[in-house]
Amino acid sequence: MHEVKVIKNKYITIKNRIDHRAPNESDFIISEETISLNHDKVVVFVKNLYVSIDPYQINRMKTHSCSQQILPNTAAILPGQAIDAGGVGRVVKSTHPDFKTGDLVTGLLHWGEYSVIEGGRTLEKLDPKLDLPLSYYAGGVLGSSGLTAYGGFFEICKPKKGEKVFVTAASGSVGMLVGQYAKLFGCYVVGSAGSKQKVDLLKEKLGFDDAFNYKEETDINSTLQRYFPNGIDIYFDNVGGEMLEAAIENMNIFGRVAACGAISEYTDNMKKAKPDMIAVIYKRIKIEGFLSVDFMDIHEDFITTTVHHLQTGKMQAIEDISYGVESIPTAFVDLFRGNNIGKTVVQITKE
């Protein structure tokens, strides 16, 4: 086989910072570059197969967000720069002793056709379990969304059987898994989503006890009273804003809020929640933020449990897959338009 010395790479960048508004396709550019595979540093060249598309990336695209100081994979994304994201790929060439050509890898890749990973630190070899799809590891049910849902529900919410659980963005990548873990554990689960199709999915396919379309509700506070006549014990928050306020209003004593996401606040900082602190105090409510990286000590548990649930058909992983690097901007923008169902992934290429 003739060894390739250069490869052409298409990748996505932002044209400008995106501050306190929803992103548009016009905020993105598809750039092209030629990558030399001859390199004197320790580098892993990866051909991307699947990349993850997640709402939190919008915080990285702002001029300022407190999130940007926290972790390397929440750092600022600058115009012109390749955008890193969870993904799965195949090693094309490697000068790193742990990786060789042909290895399947997962970790932080780029929104593009290829990823050049200096040092290889953020990668690990992937030995996919049985016949589960590779895409599941690209920030999906066996990647960060799964770990977020599993760790967030079990470690942050500390559920007891029979407790009443409310999940927002319930048909999204994390919400759909939280609801299923909660049902399998023995909780009563109600989800909120933004369309009839999503609500039907939650009730008919994902086993939620009930679900509603928040866009059809005029007073979320009374909606929650209707769905939780005996109060909410656990609120898994993916949206923030007035939903968080209403959940606290309807929460039982010693209720827990897992603060996982605040998508309604990401693109509009006027929508910040004003939770009733008097209720927080008297009802002894706990509101706790978390990130999936905090759960690395339960990662093995998470994988074992989740693979078993998937293989026995007890758990479903809904994916919203589009194809080709060109589809990344729309896939991302659609998250904020509520057009996605399940985990959004872009398949960059078929092998």
Q: Which residues bind a second copy (CB under 8 A)?
A: 59, 65-67, 70, 74, 237, 240, 244, 249, 253, 259-262, 265-266, 272-291, 294
Q: How far is the CB of 307 from a second copy (least distance, A)?
A: 27
Cβ burial, residue 277 (10 Å; 0-12/13-18/19+)? exposed
Q: Could you tell me if 171 and 239 are in contact, meaning their C-beta atoms sit under 8 angstroms apart?
A: no
Q: Which is nearer to a second copy, 52 or 347 (CB)?
A: 52
Q: How far is the CB of 214 from a second copy (least distance, A)?
A: 17
The two three-digit tokens of residue 242, written as one number: 């007035």
Q: Which is nearer to a second copy, 26 or 269 (CB)?
A: 269
Q: Which is nearer to a second copy, 287 or 303 (CB)?
A: 287
The closest alpha carbon to 117, from 125, 105, 109, 129, belongs to: 109
Query: 164 forms bridges with which residues in the sheet?
Result: 188
Q: Which is nearer to a second copy, 247 or 315 (CB)?
A: 247
Q: How far is the CB of 10 from a second copy (least distance, A)?
A: 31
Q: Which amino acid appears at position 267 of this protein? A: T
Strands of the chain, DSSP E: 6-14, 28-36, 43-52, 84-94, 104-110, 114-118, 123-125, 164-167, 188-193, 210-213, 232-237, 251-259, 286-289, 319-323, 343-347
Q: How far is the CB of 207 from a second copy (least distance, A)?
A: 27
97 contact partners, CB below 8 Å, separation of at least 6: none
The closest alpha carbon to 145, from 112, 111, 171, belongs to: 171
Cβ burial, residue 317 (10 Å; 0-12/13-18/19+)? buried
Q: Which is nearer to a second copy, 137 or 153 (CB)?
A: 153
The two three-digit tokens of residue 325, written as one number: 């690097």
Q: How far is the CB of 277 from a second copy (least distance, A)?
A: 4
The closest alpha carbon to 19, from 59, 67, 76, 66, belongs to: 59
Q: Which is nearer to a second copy, 78 or 277 (CB)?
A: 277
Q: For residue 214, give the 3-state DSSP assignment.
A: helix
Q: Which is nearer to a second copy, 66 or 130 (CB)?
A: 66
